[in-house]
Amino acid sequence: MRDDTIKRILKFSEDRDWDQFHSPANLAKSISIEANELLECFQWSDENYDINEVKEELADVMVYCVDMLDKLGLDADEIINAKMDKNEAKSPVEKARGSAKKDDKL
Amino acid sequence: MRDDTIKRILKFSEDRDWDQFHSPANLAKSISIEANELLECFQWSDENYDINEVKEELADVMVYCVDMLDKLGLDADEIINAKMDKNEAKSPVEKARGSAKKDDKL
Amino acid sequence: MRDDTIKRILKFSEDRDWDQFHSPANLAKSISIEANELLECFQWSDENYDINEVKEELADVMVYCVDMLDKLGLDADEIINAKMDKNEAKSPVEKARGSAKKDDKL
Amino acid sequence: MRDDTIKRILKFSEDRDWDQFHSPANLAKSISIEANELLECFQWSDENYDINEVKEELADVMVYCVDMLDKLGLDADEIINAKMDKNEAKSPVEKARGSAKKDDKL
C-alpha cells in the first residue's frame, strides 16, 4: 500500500473529526463488521460472487486495519513479519506441505 | 506495506501448497475468523487489552487480505482509492464533521 | 429450549458474578466471536467438519443469545415472530420460491 | 423457544424451497453475518443502541441457529447442557467468581 493511500485514509477521519470514535475496541468491531459484509458476498455460493462488491468490502476491511495501525502506532511490515516468523516456525514446509488441515491442526 | 512483506506472505502459502485452500470464499471466512480473534482481545473490556495479542491478530487479518488481493488479482491502492472516492462523496466534510452517527446514518 | 436449560445458563453467570461483564455490547461481541468459532469448523472445507466441535460452538452462540435476551428483558418467541412477520412480507412465497438470491436480493 | 415458533421458522424455508441453500457451512456463514449486523448496533457506542434493531438482528441470529439445529438433527437442550457441563467443570465457582478474565483465562 502506498503512503499516499494511507494518508488519504487518515485524512478522511481527521477532516470529519471521527478520530474520537476510533478507539481500538471500536475499530476491532468495525473490522469484524466489514469482514462480514465481505463474507456476505459468499453467503449462499462460493462461486457466484459480485467482484465489485468484493472489492468494496475488502477495501473497507483494509481501511479499518490502517486506522487501527495508526491508532496504536503500529507498523504493518513489522507486525506482519513478526507473525510470519511465528507461522513459519509453527508450520515447517516439510510437515505442512499440502496438508488439508493447514497450520492449526498440524 | 512493502513488496518484500507481500512476497513473503505469498511465498509462505506457495511453499506449503496451500493455494488450493485459498478460494475467495475460504479467504473471506478466514478474514472474518481472524477479525474475531482480534475482537476477542476486547471481549470484556475496551481498555485492558494485550497489545501483543492485538498485533498478532491484526497481522493475521492483513495476511489474509493480502492473500485475497493476490487470489483475485486486485491492487490494494486501486480498490481502496475507489472506495475512498465513494466514502468522500457519501460523507461530505461539512455534513459529517464530528457526527456521532458517522457515515451510515448521515 | 426448555426453561430449565435457560435457568441453568443464567445461574451459571450469576454464581460466578459475571453479570457485570454482560453488557449488551459485550454480549454482541461474544455472539460474533462464538459464531466465528463455529465458522472455523468450516474454514477450509464445507464438507469435512467435526460434528462435535460444531455442537459445542453452536451451543456457545445460543448460550450468549440467551444471556442477551435476559439482559435486555426480551422474549425469544416474541422477537422471532415479529421478525418472521417481516420476513414473510418481504419474501412472498410465489416470488421467493427456489430463488438462488434468497430474500435480500428479490 | 416454543415449538410453534420453531415450526414457523422451518416452514418459512420449506415453503420457499430454500433448504437447498442451507448447507451447514452456509448456515455458519449466515450466523456470523447476522451476529455482525447485531454487533453493528454497538459499533460506535456501547450505550446508544436502537433496541428495535437489536431485537431484529438477535432474532435473525436465532433463526439461523434453529435452521442449523434442524439441518444437523441436533437438539438445542442436549447440546447446550453438554456444553454447560464442560463450562462448569472448566470454571468452578470458587475460582471464577467475579474474575475479570472470565473462563478462558482462569
pLDDT digits (tens, 9 = 90+) for B37-48: 999 999 999 999
How large is the average pLDDT for residues C13-34?
Answer: 97
Helices D51-72 & D3-16, crossing angle to 10 degrees?
80
D44 touches chain B (CB under 8 A): yes
Which pLDDT belongs to residue C98? 76
How large is the average pLDDT for residues B29-34?
Answer: 98
How many Cα atoms within 13 Å fall on the side-chain side of residue D40?
19
User: What is the torsional sign of CA A56, A61, A62, A63?
Assistant: positive
Which pLDDT belongs to residue C105? 45
User: What is the torsional sign of CA A77, A78, A83, A86?
Assistant: positive
- Residue to test with chain D: of B44, B53, B104, most D Cβ within 10 A: B44
Residue in D21, D26, D40 nearest the CB of A33: D40
What Rg, from alpha-carbon coordinates, does chain B have? 17
Residue in B1, B38, B56 nearest the CB of A76: B1
Which pLDDT belongs to residue A105? 44
Run means of pLDDT, 10 residues per run, chain D, 106 residues: 97 96 98 98 97 98 98 98 97 85 52
Residue C102 has pLDDT above 90, yes or no: no
How large is the average pLDDT for residues C61-80?
Answer: 98
Which pLDDT belongs to residue A72? 98
The DSSP element (H or E) to which A83 belongs, if any, is helix A76-90
Q: Decide: D91 and C68 in contact? Cβ < 8 Å.
A: no
Residue B103 has pLDDT above 60, yes or no: no
Q: Which of D54, D68, A16, A28 is nearest to B60 (CA)?
A: A28
Residue in D29, D44, D102 nearest the CB of B102: D44
- How near does any CA of chain B get to the CA of D18, in Å? 20
A57 vs D29: CA distance, rounded Å: 16
How large is the average pLDDT for residues C22-33?
Answer: 98
Residue % of chain B over a pLDDT of 90: 88
Q: Decide: A62 and A27 in contact? Cβ < 8 Å.
A: no
Q: State whether B48 and D102 contact (CB < 8 Å).
A: no
B43 vs A29: CA distance, rounded Å: 10
- pLDDT per residue, tens digit, chain A (106 aa), is 999 999 999 999 999 999 999 999 999 999 999 999 999 999 999 999 999 999 999 999 999 999 999 999 999 999 999 999 999 999 999 988 877 566 554 4
The mean of the pLDDT values for chain B is 94
Which pLDDT belongs to residue B98? 76
Q: Respond yes or no on whether ipTM tops 0.90.
A: yes
The mean of the pLDDT values for chain C is 94
A59 vs B86: CA distance, rounded Å: 11
Residue % of chain C over a pLDDT of 90: 88
Residue % of chain C over a pLDDT of 70: 93
How large is the average pLDDT for residues C66-95?
Answer: 97
More confident residue, A98 or B89: B89
